[in-house]
Structure 1
Amino acid sequence: MDDFLELLKRITPEVIEIFERRYDILKNVKYHQPIGRRMLSEKLKLSERIVRNEVDILRSLGLLTITDNGTILTNEGEDLLEKLSNIVYDIKVLEALRQTVKDILGAKDLFIVPGDADTNPYVLKELGIVASKVVLSLLPNVKIIAVTGGQTVKEVVDNFPTCFFKDILVVPARGGIGQEVEKQANTLAANLAKKLGGRYKLLHLPDTMDEEVYKLIVKKEDVQDVLNDINNADMLIFGIGNAIEMAKRRKFNQQMIEKLSQVGAIGEIFGYYFDKEGNIVYSTTTVGIKLEKIKNIKYMIGVAGGAHKAEAILSLNGIKHNAIFVIDEGIARRILSIKG
């Protein structure tokens, strides 16, 4: 199969290009159906003329159908997409890339999803599907799961199958951040627990607070109870942030954001900001999991999408060796270009 694909790329490279374009169209339709051609064009960053021609071809092949509300996949299109996944993985030579990037990171394990979430929004959903399968495979050895907030972790929870693990406890790894309740750790912990048929506890506190307030709050018995469970988690599912993006989400003032840039902050997890050497250059008074505790966690599942997250992942020197990363092709190729 590999030799055949290599020959195909050499003698008819345009076939591979057409294949990948049509695959992207089918994927986008799957996750946004019913979708109009103009919206599809915007998501694919292709001209409407090209999209119209490709949609017409895919419709003639019985893979798409046009309704009054927009384009949708046919049952045959759904079935074909399922079968195409492994072929796309082979065409992009992602297994070799996976092993190389895993070695660069020194990670416990690594999974790569085709595409780049920076340019193809549906890739985040694919990350969620793959990450949920990774999590599910490890659950027999887990009693407590801690989850952070954010869109990527939300995709993991949204794509998690309903199952039965009544003895598992799910807790938020940190307090709330931002205004979008559906993406906060409390919400995601509760939703994941419901899908597992398990239990959950919540942490009704903001992610950051003044030092004096923090010292008073953490003495409360109910807070101590949740923090104890968080710090004894067997599994941590977490997103990985770009330092400046996360500072803005936390409503840092411009002076603080400029300071983070000056000290070279690149990556962020759990309120800790890292430079490219992996040094902690700033940390917030965060309610939730502490960096010194994560070395005791059996399974750390880091999920991230978009090439711009590559530097952030590389900055996590202290935890990379103990983490299982689920990333997209954009991040993997960016890491290879930096370290290859």
Structure 2
Amino acid sequence: MDKIIQLQRKIAPELTQIIEARYNLLRQIQHTQPVGRRALATMLNMGERVVRANVDWLKAAGLVEFSQLGMSVTFEGQTMLADLAEYIRMLHGLAALEDELAERLNLKKVIIIPGDSEADSAVKRELGRAAAGVLGQHLGDNMIVAVSGGSTMAKVAEAVNFSVPSTTVVPARGGLGEVVEYQANTIAAVMAGKLGGRYRLLHIPDGVSEETLEVILAGDANLKAVADMIKQADILVYGIGEAAEMAARRGVPQATIAEIERRGAVAEALGQYCSLSGEIVYVTSSIGLRLDDLAGIGKVIAVAGGSAKAKAILAVAGTGAQHVLVTDEAAARAIQFIINTNNI
């Protein structure tokens, strides 16, 4: 297959471009179906005429069908998408890049989704599906799964399509007071619903002082039980953010944000802020897991994409204890560039 792809690139480079463009169209239709041509063109930032020509071809090939509500992918189209996904991975050389990053970041496994989740919402959904697939591979009976918040994590919960009723899902940390759909409590409840399992919620925000937390835990046995359960998680699925952005979302004062940046923080995960070398330089007080708790968790799955998060992903990987990274091609290429440029 590699040889065939190399021949295609040399003799008919336009062929691989057409295949990739139609794959992206088919994937976007699958994630947003039923969808109209105009909406599809806007999502992919393509001209309507180009979209019309390609979807007409996809319809003639029996890969999509039209209705009054819009376009949908046929069963044959879904099968074709699965086959094309592997072709696109080989076309982009992602298997070799996965192995390289796993070795350089000291991870057991790296999974790279083609594309850029910052520019294409379908790629973010694919990140969610890939992470949910990893979770399914490692989830056994009577396990506790801890999940963090964020838009990417919401996609992970949505993508769960298997049932393990004995599972208990808990939020990894307190809330940020952000969009309710992206809060760890909500994501835990959604994931538990998909699994047919149970969930326990943590009704306390991040940023509460250590003294206040001690008083709350001493006076609330239920909250303490949830906190203890979080610490006993068998699997953690969490997202990674950029330091300044996450500090602002957590309501950290501007002067403190400036101090965090001065200390070299480029990443935030589980309330802790890391420099590019993996050193933790600032901690937000909260009940829940921290990066230094991860060594005691059986399987740790980090999920993040977009080239802007490359430094953040690299920094968190440097703290150790991660097992699997699910990311996109844009972030992976940027991480590779940073490693090579800085001789990390």
The TM-score bracket by the shorter chain reads: over 0.9
Q: CA, structure 1 residues 318+96, in 2 after alignment: closer, same or farther (shift >3 Å)?
A: closer
CA–CA distance in 1 between the matches of 2:30 and 2:131?
19
AA matched with 1:300: V
In structure 2, the partner of 1:169 is: 168
Q: Which residue of 2 aligns with 1:97?
A: 97
Task: Tell me the CA shift for residue 313 of structure 1.
Answer: 0.9
SS of 2:139's partner is helix
Residue matched to 1:191: 190
- Deviation of residue 325 (structure 1)? 0.8
1:303-338 deviations in whole A, cap 9, x for unaligned? 112121111011114544532111111111111111
Structure 1's 35 and 253: CA in aligned 2 closer, same or farther, altered over 3 A?
farther
Give the corresponding residue for 1:244. 244
Give me the whole-angstrom Cα distance separating, in 1, the residues matched to 2:80 and 2:98.
25
Task: Work out whether 1:308 is the aligned partner of 2:299.
Answer: no
Superposed displacement of residue 45, structure 1: 2.1
Residues 141 and 164 in structure 2, CA contact (< 8 A), matched pair in contact too? no
1:139 equivalent in structure 2: 139
Taking the aligned partners of 1:185 and 1:13, their CA distance within structure 2 comes to 45
Q: Tell me the CA shift for residue 40 of structure 1.
A: 1.7
Partners of 1:22 and 1:280 lie apart in 2 by 44
CA distance in 1, matches of 2:7, 2:242: 39
Contact kept? 2:300, 2:321, Cα under 8 Å: no
Matching of residues 193-208 of structure 1 within 5 Å = 193-208=192-207
Q: Does structure 1 conserve the Cα–Cα contact (< 8 Å) formed by 2:294 and 2:322? A: no
Whole-Å separation in 1 of the counterparts to 2:163 and 2:289: 27
Query: What's the offset of the Cα at 1:181?
Result: 1.8
State TM-score, norm by structure 1: 0.93
Deviation at 1:178, TM superposition (A): 2.6
1:140 match: secondary structure: coil
Give distance in 2, aligned partners of 1:178 and 1:96: 40
Q: Which amino acid aligns with 2:214?
A: K
**Matches for 1:48-59 after TM superposition, within 5 Å:** 48-59=48-59
Matches within 5 A, 1:256-335: 256-335=256-335
Aligned to 2:72: 72
CA distance in 1, matches of 2:331, 2:76: 32
Q: Are the structure 2 counterparts of residues 295 and 281 from structure 1 closer, same or farther at C-alpha, using a change threshold of 3 Å? A: same
Corresponding position of 1:35: 35
Shift of 1:222: 1.9
For residue 82 of structure 2, give the secondary structure of its aligned residue in structure 1. helix
TM-score by length of 2: 0.92
2:90 and 2:203 mapped to 1: Cα distance? 46
- Once the two structures are overlaid, the 10-residue window that deviates more, 98-107 or 317-326, is 317-326
3-state SS of the aligned residue for 1:305?
Answer: coil
Mapped to 2, the partners of 1:280 and 1:223 lie a distance apart of: 27
**1:224 alignment partner, SS class:** helix
Amino acid at match of 1:8: Q
Cα distance in 2 between the residues matched to 1:27 and 1:324: 24
Distance 1:94 1:159 in 2: 22
Amino acid at match of 1:183: Y
Counterpart residue type for residue 187 of structure 1: T
Q: Is the 8 A contact 2:62 2:74 kept in 1?
A: yes
Matched position secondary structure for 2:265: coil
- Provide the identity percentage: 40
Alignment partners' CA distance in 1, 2:322 and 2:23: 34
Q: Check conservation: 2:237, 2:302, Cα contact below 8 A.
A: yes
Relative to 1, partners in 2 of residues 1:224 and 1:214: Cα closer, same or farther, differing over 3 Å?
same
Cα distance in 1 for partners of 2:276, 2:36 equals 42
Q: 1:219-256 deviations in whole A, cap 9, x for unaligned? A: 23222211111111111110111112212222334333
1:101-116 equivalent positions in 2, closer than 5 A = 101-116=101-116
Cα distance in 2 for partners of 1:197, 1:278 equals 37
Please give the alpha-carbon distance, in whole angstroms, between the structure 2 residues aligned to 1:256 and 1:313: 22
Q: CA deviation at 1:164?
A: 2.9
Q: Secondary structure at the match of 2:222?
A: helix
Give the Å deviation of 1:10: 1.6
Could you say if the C-alpha distance between residues 194 and 74 of structure 1 is closer, same or farther in structure 2, counting changes exceeding 3 Å? Answer: closer
Q: Secondary structure at the match of 1:316?
A: helix
Deviations 1:152-201 (A, max 9, x none): 111111111241342x3221111111332222111222222233233222
| Alpha-carbon RMSD | 1.9
Give CA deviations for 1:50-69 in whole Å, capped at 9, x if unaligned. 22222232223232334333
Q: Which amino acid in the other structure matches residue 173 of structure 2?
A: R
1:178 alignment partner in structure 2: 177
Q: For 1:31 and 1:169, locate their aligned partners in 2 and report how far apart those are by CA, in whole Å.
A: 28
Gaps of 5+ in 1: none
Amino acid at match of 1:103: E
Q: What is the rounded CA distance, in whole Å, between the counterparts of 1:270 and 1:34 in structure 2?
A: 37
